[in-house]
């Protein structure tokens, strides 16, 4: 009895000494696939999770047959898979999908890409993936469209952004651009607008990580520019923000000044331009009062730093994630961060980390998933996955902007991530677990 009391006292003392925000919380993991592709849950700009009451819908990429990867849409209730549908295929392990509700509760999925066009399917009935429409192609001959991010407005228009690359016979990419499509859902999915938001035709490769969001029918887009010519990195990179108050007809910067399209390095929409730092951005998120927030990660030869970027009413603010860095214990963030904001304006961030040493890369076996909540007064660690036998945990995704019927009042947004093997080969199939956590 005496030993038990002493043990309990020690536990109490330890908990008093360790900040409550840093105590790891145990949660149940649901493995929804053991055949996930190496980039099964990539990338953060593409929303992978929808929830309505006690139902969750997720999309991810599985290894398939005949040199293809399966795009999966799954329904989950009470921590069990209720339905699982292969909606289509991708030719590479970079062909992840994005999903959204419309205002009636129908589910839309955009998928494919990287070295092909994109495709759309939707549920014929609200909240029911058992009966999906036929594939609707968004294709431009000789081009690859990839990294889709989309929203649906109150007038039944889909607003889609994606990277476009010209492809030759050997599927080598060139002439990169970031394209915006406005698609009239009620008019047979007619493309009513196709604009190049960013275009640098003289370069061979371009990465335009970008994310779109809509609140009160105002479109907001964030982007980063990173270009390479003949494997040589350009000495300029940038990130920026544009918005449209007329459903995609015109775009302005955060100060309300008209933006000339396509965007260049001299555009007034660029928030920062650098010759030394490589930027990475998260998806876009909104506070309840309409402020834009996203995460910027800056890499240079010596350091890595992540910041919360806030944009509201002609104001631009940049704040380093100091409290999170203080709790990472000699670890660094792995560039891609997912962000979500609840109705009380708490910020949720999910990302992977590796030890803070030069020889630790994104595909390190020491990779971990961390999930934090930021409120006005503190930072709370929600989840920290300390890996053991698995090779890696990579590219977590978070339940993002919750449009239409989504669970706006859910206490903690759901996350999904991959755990297992990875590869830089676009076509190689390696197995990873796809894991979802509903808190």
The CATH label, of 2.130.10.120, 3.90.850.10, 3.40.50.12160, 1.10.540.10, for the domain at 23-437 is 2.130.10.120
Say whether pLDDT at 20 is over 80: no
Q: How confident is the model at residue 7 (pLDDT cuts 50, 70, 90)?
A: very low
Average pLDDT over residues 111-138: 94
Residue predicted with more confidence, 239 or 65: 239
Reference 147, options 246, 347, 244, 281; nearest CA is 281
E-only strand ranges, 78-142: 80-90, 98-101, 107-112, 118-125, 128-132, 136-138
Say whether pLDDT at 149 is over 70: yes
Which residues face 30 on adjacent strands?
436
Decide: 62 and 52 in contact? Cβ < 8 Å.
no
E-only strand ranges, 359-400: 368-374, 379-385, 393-398
Own/partner contacts of 354-358, CB < 8 Å, gap of 24 or more, are 355/330, 355/331, 356/328, 356/330, 356/331, 356/332
Residue predicted with more confidence, 353 or 263: 263
- Count of other CB atoms within 10 angstroms of residue 10: 10
Average pLDDT over residues 60-89: 94
Q: How far apart are CA 347 and CA 306, in angstroms?
A: 14
Q: Round to the nearest angstrom and report the end-to-end CA distance of the chain.
A: 36
Task: Please state the pTM of the whole predicted model.
Answer: 0.91
Residue predicted with more confidence, 235 or 220: 220
Residue-level pLDDT at 194: 95
Name the strand (E) or helix (H) holding 10.
helix 2-17
Joined tokens for residue 302: 């010596």
pLDDT tens across 389-431, in order? 456 677 899 998 666 666 655 678 999 999 888 888 888 999 8
Q: Where are the domains of the chain?
A: 23-437
Q: How confident is the model at residue 9 (pLDDT cuts 50, 70, 90)?
A: very low
Residue-level pLDDT at 403: 67
Which residues face 240 on adjacent strands?
223, 270
Reference 369, options 27, 1, 17, 8; nearest CA is 27
Token pair 């991708």 is at which residue?
Answer: 90
Using DSSP, state whether 6 is helix, strand or coil: helix
Averaged pLDDT of the chain: 87
From 13-17, 132-136, 195-199, 410-414, the region with the lowest mean pLDDT: 13-17
- 8-state DSSP, 424: S
143's CB contacts (< 8 A; 6+ apart) are: 117, 164, 165, 166, 167
Name the strand (E) or helix (H) holding 222.
strand 218-229
């Amino acid at each position: 009895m005496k030993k038990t009391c002493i043990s309990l006292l020690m536990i109490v003392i330890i908990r008093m000494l360790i900040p409550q925000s840093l105590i790891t919380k145990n949660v149940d993991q649901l493995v929804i696939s053991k055949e996930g592709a190496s980039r099964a849950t990539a990338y953060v700009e593409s929303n992978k999770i929808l929830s309505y009451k006690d139902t969750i819908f997720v999309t991810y990429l599985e290894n398939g047959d005949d040199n293809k990867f399966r795009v999966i849409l799954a329904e989950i209730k009470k921590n069990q898979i209720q339905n699982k549908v292969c909606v289509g295929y991708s030719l590479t392990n970079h062909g992840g999908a994005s999903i959204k509700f419309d205002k009636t509760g129908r589910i839309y999925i955009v998928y494919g890409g990287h070295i092909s066009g994109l495709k759309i399917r939707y549920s014929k009935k609200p909240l029911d993936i058992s009966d999906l429409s036929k594939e609707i192609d968004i294709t431009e001959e000789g081009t690859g469209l990839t990294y889709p991010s989309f929203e649906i407005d109150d007038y039944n228009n889909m607003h889609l952004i994606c990277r476009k690359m010209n492809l030759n016979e050997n599927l080598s990419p060139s002439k990169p651009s970031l394209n915006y499509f406005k698609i009239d859902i009620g008019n047979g999915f007619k493309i009513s607008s196709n604009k190049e938001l960013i275009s640098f035709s003289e370069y061979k490769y371009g990465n335009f990580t970008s994310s779109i969001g809509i609140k009160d029918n105002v479109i907001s887009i964030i982007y980063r520019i990173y270009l390479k010519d003949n494997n040589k990195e350009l000495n300029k990179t940038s990130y920026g923000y544009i918005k449209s108050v007329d459903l995609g007809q015109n775009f302005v910067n955060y100060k309300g000044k008209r933006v000339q399209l396509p965007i260049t390095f001299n555009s007034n929409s660029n928030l920062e331009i650098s010759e030394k730092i490589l930027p990475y951005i998260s998806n876009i998120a909104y506070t309840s009062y309409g402020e834009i927030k996203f995460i910027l990660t800056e890499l240079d030869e010596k350091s890595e730093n992540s910041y919360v970027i806030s944009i509201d009413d002609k104001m631009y603010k940049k704040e380093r994630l100091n409290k999170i860095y203080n709790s990472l214990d000699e670890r660094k963030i792995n560039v891609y961060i997912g962000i979500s904001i609840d109705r009380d304006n708490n910020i949720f961030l999910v990302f992977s980390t590796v030890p803070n040493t030069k020889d630790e890369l994104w595909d390190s076996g020491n990779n971990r998933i961390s999930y934090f909540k930021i409120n006005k007064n503190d930072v709370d660690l929600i989840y920290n996955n300390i890996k053991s036998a698995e090779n890696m945990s990579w590219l977590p995704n978070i339940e993002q902007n919750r449009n239409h019927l989504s669970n706006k009042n859910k206490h903690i947004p759901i996350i999904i991530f991959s755990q297992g093997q990875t590869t830089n080969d676009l076509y190689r199939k390696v197995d990873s677990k796809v894991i979802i956590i509903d808190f």
